[in-house]
Amino acid sequence: MKVLVPVKRVIDYNVKVRVKSDGSGVDLANVKMSMNPFDEIAVEEAIRLKEAGTASEVVAVSIGVKQAQETLRTALAMGADRAILVVAAEDVHQDIEPLAVAKILAKIAEEEQPGLVLCGKQAIDNDMNATGQMLSALLGWAQATFASKVEIAEGNAKVTREVDGGLQTIQVKMPAIVSVDLRLNEPRYASLPNIMKAKKKPLEEKSAADYGVDVTPRLEVVKTTEPEARQAGIVVKSVDELVETLKEKGIV
Amino acid sequence: MAVLLLAEITDGALSLDATAKAVAAVAPLGEVTVLAAGARAADAAAEAARIEGVAKVLLAEDAIYGHRLAEPVAALMAALAADYDHVVAPATTDAKNVMPRVAALLDVMVLSDVSGIVDADTFERPIYAGNAIQTVKSKDAKKVATIRTTSFDAAGTGGNAPVETIPAGEDPGLSSWVEDHVAASDRPELTSAGRVVSGGRGIGSKEDFAMIEKLADKLGAAVGASRAAVDSGYAPNDWQVGQTGKVVAPELYVAVGISGAIQHLAGMKDSKVIVAINKDEDAPIFQVADYGLVADLFTAVPELTEKL
Ligand SMILES: Cc1cc2nc3c(=O)[nH]c(=O)nc-3n(C[C@H](O)[C@H](O)[C@H](O)COP(=O)(O)OP(=O)(O)OC[C@H]3O[C@@H](n4cnc5c(N)ncnc54)[C@H](O)[C@@H]3O)c2cc1C
Ligand SMILES: Nc1ncnc2c1ncn2[C@@H]1O[C@H](COP(=O)(O)O)[C@@H](O)[C@H]1O
Count CB-CB contacts under 10 A for residue B30.
Answer: 15
Q: 57-96 in A: which are within 8 Å (CB) of B?
A: none
What is the enclosing helix (H) or strand (E) of B263?
helix B262-265
Count the domains in chain A: 1
B201 lines ligand 1 (CB under 6 A): yes
Peptide bond into B167 cis (omega under 30): no
Tell if the CB–CB gap between B137 and A222 is shorter than 8 Å: yes
**CA diameter of chain B:** 60
Regarding pTM above 0.90, the answer is: yes
- Residue B194: pLDDT over 90: yes
**What pLDDT shows up at residue A55?**
98
Looking at the DSSP bridge assignments, the partners of residue A157 are: A152, A172
Phi, psi of B144 (to 5 degrees): -115, 125
CA distances from residue B153 to A70, A137, B192, B223 in whole angstroms, order as listed: 45, 32, 11, 22
Which atom of ligand 2 has the smallest separation from the CA of A36? 21
Ramachandran region, residue B68 (left: φ > 0; alpha: ψ -120 to 50; beta: rest): left
Span B246-294, pLDDT tens digits: 999 999 999 999 999 999 999 999 999 999 999 999 999 999 999 999 9
Which atom of ligand 1 has the smallest separation from the CA of A37? 1
CATH, residue A170: 3.40.50.620
**What pLDDT shows up at residue B4?**
98
The CA dihedral of B180, B181, B186, B190, to the nearest 10 degrees, is -90
Looking at residue B66, the DSSP 8-state letter turns out to be T
**What pLDDT shows up at residue A229?**
87
**Nearest CA residue ID for atom 1, ligand 2:** A63
Three-state secondary structure call for residue A57: strand
**What pLDDT shows up at residue B184?**
83
Span B17-73, pLDDT tens digits: 999 999 999 999 999 999 999 999 999 999 999 999 999 999 999 999 999 899 999
B256 lines ligand 1 (CB under 6 A): no
For the segment B77-97, the average pLDDT, to the nearest whole number, is 98
- Domain, as residue range, for A167: 2-249
CA distances from residue B102 to A103, A114, A118, A119, B23 in whole angstroms, order as listed: 15, 23, 20, 19, 19
Span A94-114, pLDDT tens digits: 999 999 999 999 999 999 999
Which listed ligand is nearest to B245 at the C-alpha?
A: 1
CB A135 within 8 Å of CB A161: no
For the segment A51-63, the average pLDDT, to the nearest whole number, is 98
Give distance in angstroms: CA of A173 to centre of ligand 1. 37
Count CB-CB contacts under 10 A for residue B250.
Answer: 25
Which domains does chain B show, CATH number per domain? 2-165 (3.40.50.620), 195-307 (3.40.50.1220)
- Name the band, by pLDDT with cuts 50, 70 and 90, for residue A232: confident
- Residue B302: pLDDT over 90: yes
